[in-house]
Amino acid sequence: MASWRPQPFYGWYVVYAIGLVLMTTSGLAFYNLSVLLDAFVAERGFPVALTSGATASFFIASGAGGVFAARLMDRIDARLIMIFGACVSALALGSLSLLQRPWQLYVFHLVFGFCYGFCGLVPATTIVARWFEARRALALSIASTGLSLGGVLMAPLSAFLIQRRGIAGAAPWLGLLFFLGVVPVTAWIVRSSPQDMGLVPDGSRFAARASGIALPRHVPYAQARRSRFFLGVTLAYLFGLGAQVGAITHLFRLASTRENPRIAALTLALLASASVVGRLSGGWLLLKLPTRAFAIGMLLAQGLALALLAFAAKSLLLVGAMLFGITVGNVLMLQPLLLAEAFGTRHYGRIYSVSNLITAAGVAGGPALIGVLYEASGGYTLPYLAVSAASVLSCAILLLAGKTQDPPR
């Protein structure tokens, strides 16, 4: 007679599926913006400042899309939201060949950004947070590894296609890749919450007690958004993520101006590869270290890496990209984790989406600021020193953010 074996917790299948979704969306949107910026400047002749402004509009639109998606997730199946966002995003990428004028460039980034908010970090982290409580940090670190893999696999593929075929020739393939990487796995594997399958978070009602981790209370949305901790985390990430995304968006072009395009592609791949290692290591370290202390350390390391990139060339350029990548792998993951630990998961979608929308102002301002400083100074040294200082400022803000909510006994 065959021995009975317990079925693996379905939440881990959801984590891996979300990882594939994030790999696709980050690789063809988040990391790919750097590749597209360089292509629009080189192939279409758009000024760097103008293209940087269009890139900034993407992040504002994605923040607004995330807020709208979070409200819809309380009413309808999250999978429908993600599939809709992926379909429109794929169509937007497929229409790249039509972009010839500045206003068309801005329309593309606004539409692409808004729909990216429907299938990006807000719905993805909300779903993972619903499935896990005691092992949330580990689950988020594994799922968000897809963000880094997108930079390792998808962004270099996009750069190769654009280099060989041009924007017009690569556009249909980029749109198809976006659709195939999100829609099938979302429809077949992802589920909005464990309750949809008659399950509970972590696979056991006693998982948190067995692991020694106390469950946070569910803080109402109105109370959470007025708290000092919410404001501190949001303001810190406004500067921290603005510095990070601005640096990533211009990293391919920075490397291209100092070295050849092959080294530029390698720099972006090393950034993403180090992000994978950093994020998985961070998930393990967070089982032993306080989340906020770890976040402060990562933001400080980010500031040091950006200061190095401000002056780096040749081998130091690759070293700086690897150090920066280790921080990228953790900084982005820590914002949703800090908020979920502090306020619980019942209203997490709305709490995180609003925080994400506010920080989108910094995320949008980062690429634009670097573009303006680049044209004013004639190089990338001053712009990267500026975002390095912004990273250090974010450390100080998070340090002064006040206490989190105490979990119930």
Q: Model confidence over 317-365: pLDDT tens digits?
A: 888 889 998 998 788 888 888 988 888 777 888 888 899 888 888 877 8
pLDDT at 160 over 50: yes
Residues 395, 383: Cα–Cα separation, whole Å: 19
CATH number, domain 11-195+219-399, options 1.20.1250.20, 3.40.640.10, 1.10.357.20, 1.10.3470.10: 1.20.1250.20
**CB contact burial 47-83 (16+ within 10 A = b; e otherwise):** ebeebbbbbbbbbbbbbbbbbbbbebbeeeebbebbb
Q: At CA 151, angle to CA 82 and CA 121, rounded to 5?
A: 30
Per-residue pLDDT tens over the stretch 215-240: 445 788 788 888 899 999 999 999 99
DSSP-derived letter for residue 2 is P
pLDDT at 409 over 70: no
Model confidence, pTM: 0.77
H-type alpha helices, 259-380: 261-285, 291-311, 315-343, 348-377
**CB contact burial 361-389 (16+ within 10 A = b; e otherwise):** ebbbbbbbbbbbbbeeeeebbebbbbbbe
Q: To 10 degrees, what angle do helices 48-73 and 348-377 make?
A: 180
DSSP helix/strand/coil, 237? helix
pLDDT at 46 over 90: no
DSSP-derived letter for residue 99 is -
pLDDT at 210 over 70: no
Residues 27, 146: Cα–Cα separation, whole Å: 9
Burial of 172 (0-12, 13-18, 19+ CB in 10 A): middle
**Residue 2: per-residue pLDDT:** 47
Residues 97, 171: Cα–Cα separation, whole Å: 7
Helix then strand then coil, % of the chain, to nearest 5: 80, 0, 20
